[in-house]
Structure 1
Amino acid sequence: MSFYKFICSILSFLARILYRVEIVGAENIPDEGNIIVIANHKHFLDPVFMLIAIKNRRIIPVAKKELFDVFILKNILKKLEVIPIDRGNPSISTVKEIINQIKSGRILGIFPEGTRCMGNNFLPAKPGVAMFAIKTKADIVPMSIITNFKLFSKVKIVIGETIDMAEYKKRKVNKEEYAEISQKCFDVVVKNYFANMKGVIKE
């Protein structure tokens, strides 16, 4: 068993003890092809829930570079092949590494808002999602993580149907369009969030 699978199995075990996890739409993650999974971001545990929800593909771990300053985390992150990123100013080498990973068959899991947004509110999507999708000719899968994050509460992870990006693969896309395309895709995450929140969190 690889270190990645070992960590995933531990996280999945712990998550299911501490929360009542329900995964809806796992079949919507294609077994092959360039794919980017986008999700809302409200808690530091969101990457864990994304990780345990996707079992048929390996996710490209991307984390803010500050986490590599934490001694306990540093070696674990390196073993998981986590890519450090400066969220305010991503380097060209980091962007190229992520693009190469997507093209190699791994899934990019990303939170378009760029940072956490509490409650039932959402921040505008950053343009990076569209940029990565267009550069790698990837389609996008929306994931909505719905929970109040309290111990032993329900966590509902809704994986929506693939958003076909064929329209943008056939023509040249201006950089100015990136934010608009990213937001259009993230709107699906938000829509699925509100459509599935009943019985999980208060409106």
Structure 2
Amino acid sequence: MFYRIVVKILKFLVFIFFDLKVHNSENIDNTEGGLIVCGNHISMIDPVILAVSTKRQIHYMGKKELFDHKILGFLFRKLGAFPVDRQGISLSAIKSSIAVLNEGGVLGIYPEGTRIQTGYDESNAKPGIAMIANKAKAKILPVYIEGPYKFRGKLELYVGEEKDYFENYTEKIKTEEYTQIGKEILKDIYNLKSDGKNNEN
């Protein structure tokens, strides 16, 4: 209930401040069970844009510093977010991620780990997302957002289709294979921009 109320308020604010167009939101809305949503990351407002664009609640990882403030930390947790230490391996964050997926929830992750303004670079891909998806037996859905975050700026959110990145793997996956899958995920995210433009023409 708390989440839905906050999202309604945020949706109203987004309507006022931005010109948002969402492509294929049904690709998220019509899914069931555990799902990982992965997107490019250009602004701290990205999670808000995605949250107001889908009917499903998305649980985000957030850098642990955001939870240090008592009030903000309380609000983030009430909204389903949980902290992650970006400087090292955060076992608690991994466990929380898998728990969300095993309970049939949607996990939101930015595979580049931080905000990126320079576009696609496969070296920014991380193996952690693939590992979490494999352990939870969850599919991954890519999303791509573009546009200036300024008053009445035109924002476009492209939503891809959920995909099983492990259907061709029959043996135990090695670390380097997780890294390769991470690169594939990142490529699929950035391809949504060109694919979306082509579909409109």
Regarding TM over 0.5, the answer is: yes
After TM superposition, the structure 1 stretch with the greater mean CA deviation from structure 2, 88-97 or 18-27, is 88-97
Preserved CA contact (<8 Å) 1:42 1:119: no
Aligned residue for 1:184, secondary structure, equals: helix
Cα distance, 1:21–1:34 mapped onto 2, change above 3 Å: same
- Match for 1:52: what amino acid? V
Q: Is the 8 A contact 1:113 1:126 kept in 2?
A: yes
Report SS of the residue matched to 1:157.
Answer: strand
Q: Give TM-score, length-normalised by structure 1.
A: 0.88
Aligned match of 1:174: 174
Runs of at least 5 residues in structure 2 that lack an aligned partner in the other structure: none
Corresponding residue pairs, total: 196
Q: Shift of the alpha carbon at 1:35? A: 1.1
Find the aligned partners of 1:90 and 1:120 in 2 and give their Cα distance: 26
Write the mapping of 1:59-138 to structure 2, written as runs, cut at 5 A: 59-122=58-121, 124-138=124-138
Q: CA deviation at 1:175?
A: 1.9
Amino acid at match of 2:41: H
Deviations 1:93-129 (A, max 9, x none): 2211210111101111110000011144546211111
Aligned-partner SS, 2:52: helix
Identify if the C-alpha distance between structure 1 residues 139 and 169 changes in structure 2 by more than 3 Å, giving closer, same or farther. Answer: farther
Is contact 1:61-1:81 (8 Å) kept?
yes
Q: Cα distance 1:10–1:35, how it changes in 2: closer, same or farther (>3 A)? A: same
Alignment correspondent of 2:26: 27
Q: TM-score, normalised by structure 2?
A: 0.89
Q: Which residue of 2 aligns with 1:15?
A: 14
Q: Which one-letter code corresponds to 1:75 in the other structure?
A: F
- Given that 2:144 and 2:190 are in contact with CA atoms closer than 8 Å, whether structure 1 keeps it comes out as yes
Secondary structure (helix, strand or coil) at the match of 2:156 reads strand
Alignment match, 1:52:
52
Identify the range of structure 1 (103-112 vs 159-168) with the bigger mean alpha-carbon deviation.
159-168
Give percent identity, aligned residues only.
37
Give the aligned residue type for 2:98.
I
Stretch moving more, 77-86 or 104-113: 77-86
Matched, 1:188 2:188: yes
Cα RMSD of the aligned pairs, angstroms, is 1.9
Give 3-state SS (helix, strand or coil) of 1:178's partner.
helix
- Residues 145 and 139 of structure 1: is their aligned pair in 2 closer, same or farther, counting only changes over 3 Å? same
CA distance in 2, matches of 1:168, 1:83: 32
2: distance between equivalents of 1:18 and 1:127?
35
Over 6 Å off, 4+ runs = none
CA distance, structure 1, for counterparts of residue 92 and residue 20 of structure 2: 36
Q: In structure 1, what is the Cα distance between the partners aligned to 2:167 and 2:106?
A: 21
Report whether the alignment pairs 1:43 with 2:22: no
List gaps (5 residues or longer) in structure 1: 199-203
Distance (whole Å) between structure 2 residues aligned to residue 164 and residue 28 of structure 1: 15
Change (3 A) 1:127 1:71: same
Displacement of 1:47 in angstroms is 1.1
The corresponding residue for 1:165 is: 165
**1:164-193 C-alpha deviation (Å, 9 max, x unpaired):** 335256432112211110110110111112
Identify the range of structure 1 (64-73 vs 118-127) with the bigger mean alpha-carbon deviation. 118-127
